[in-house]
Amino acid sequence: MSISGSSWLKFGLFTVGLGQSFVFVLVPTLARDLGLSEIQTSLIFAISALAWAATSAFWGRASDRYGRKNIAVLGLVGYAVSLIALITPLFLAERNLLDLAFLFPALVLGRLINGLVGSATRPASFTYTADITSKEKRTVKFARLESSFLLGTVAGPLLGGFLFLITNETPFYVFSFLALIAAVGIYWTLEPTSPKYSPSKNNNNQIRWFSESIWPFLALAAILSLCQASLLQSIGFYIADSFTNSSDLPILISMTFTMLSISTIVSQYLFTDAFPMNNFNLLLFGTILLVFSYVTMAFFPMISVYYLSIIVLGFGFGMTRPALSSSLSIAQTPENQGSAAGYLGSVIPIGHMTTPFIAMPIYALNPAYLYYFSSILCIGLIVFIISHPIIRKSGAL
């Protein structure tokens, strides 16, 4: 039995999740051991996120012109190359083959490749799914795409931890190879789904980031991105700083990422498939769970409560992420699907871009302050979700 193009897309996002989670688990601690500060380590991801934001909208429009398949394949190849380019400087520095003065710019360059080219996969994948899916089923289909990525983030620390026993570099080489396999599978199986729209004929219908059907969703995505990125980039530091008596810090960090991803996947299945909710309710109640989680983490700095809060946080993100993508997609005409997905992709990295300048200085004052800050942002989102007519309308979708 042959594997469908949609399945290869899911596998491609799965491979991206493998590397994404393992990068956040391993790179900060290795970089810190080699002398880089928390701000420098965060900047490595921030610069990549800036490149992602700058190119994602372009890749979304390019998928309209050159096809979803070609852009998705290009993104996976770029991602595979970026993994090798990221681990190589760390490999050389550990063996004193690279001067530590060059480590930071080399890591920035390696991660930058992911931002410039790896950003192509997500908008192409989601736009292809929008092409072949009815509005009624789009939230479920988008949730399954998200789940494929999140399954990768669960498997990344587990599989990566096993491969790490061979060498530090082995997980990156294996994950890169799997991404290349996914790229080949997509190239040979994905069928074209949308006509090639001529920009000259559709100027009157083209959307911009400030279009009424676009900007409310981008605003939501930007704030949620900051809340999520600040957590992801601070997890390793928070556990190391708060639970210093533990001798198994890497395991605690990996468990945190695993529990966050698993709870997100379970949430997506429960509330988009088994007991489906409309997009408005998913956004509203998901954000309420985020507020509860951040407040709990700030008030009760205990490892058991922290893990419970991480699980609740996963449920919240599992509700908001597919609802946000689906609501935005449904609000657009067919010829604007690629552009809309690209704009959303350009906003998602904002959190990683701003975390070094907003979140990490707050964390440096007191780790709890960062979670208070995130809870306040989410309370503002609840007010915005309830009050904005475009988002309220998503309850009827």
Are the beta carbons of 32 and 41 closer than 8 angstroms? yes
What pLDDT is attached to residue 247? Answer: 62
Q: Which CATH superfamily is domain 5-191+209-396 in?
A: MFS general substrate transporter like domains (1.20.1250.20)
Structure tokens at 187: 């190239």
Q: Which amino acid is at 211?
A: S
What pLDDT is attached to residue 80? Answer: 95
Contact partners, residue 69, CB within 8 Å, separation at least 6: 5, 124, 128, 186, 187, 190, 192
Structure tokens at 394: 């998503």
Integer Cα distance of 305 and 303 in angstroms: 6
Are the beta carbons of 221 and 355 closer than 8 angstroms? no
What pLDDT is attached to residue 17? Answer: 87
What pLDDT is attached to residue 245? Answer: 64
Residues of the chain with pLDDT under 50: 1, 195-203
What pLDDT is attached to residue 395? Answer: 57
Integer Cα distance of 334 and 347 in angstroms: 21
Integer Cα distance of 138 and 397 in angstroms: 10
**Residue 79: Cβ within 10 Å count:** 27
Integer Cα distance of 114 and 111 in angstroms: 5
Q: Which amino acid is at 243?
A: F
Integer Cα distance of 203 and 188 in angstroms: 33
Integer Cα distance of 283 and 272 in angstroms: 12
pLDDT in tens, 206-244: 777 778 878 899 999 999 989 988 888 788 778 777 766
Integer Cα distance of 4 and 88 in angstroms: 34
What pLDDT is attached to residue 396? Answer: 53
Structure tokens at 256: 């945190």
Can you give the residue ranges of every domain in the chain?
Answer: 5-191+209-396
Integer Cα distance of 397 and 164 in angstroms: 45
Structure tokens at 289: 């769970």
What pLDDT is attached to residue 13? Answer: 92
What pLDDT is attached to residue 248? Answer: 67
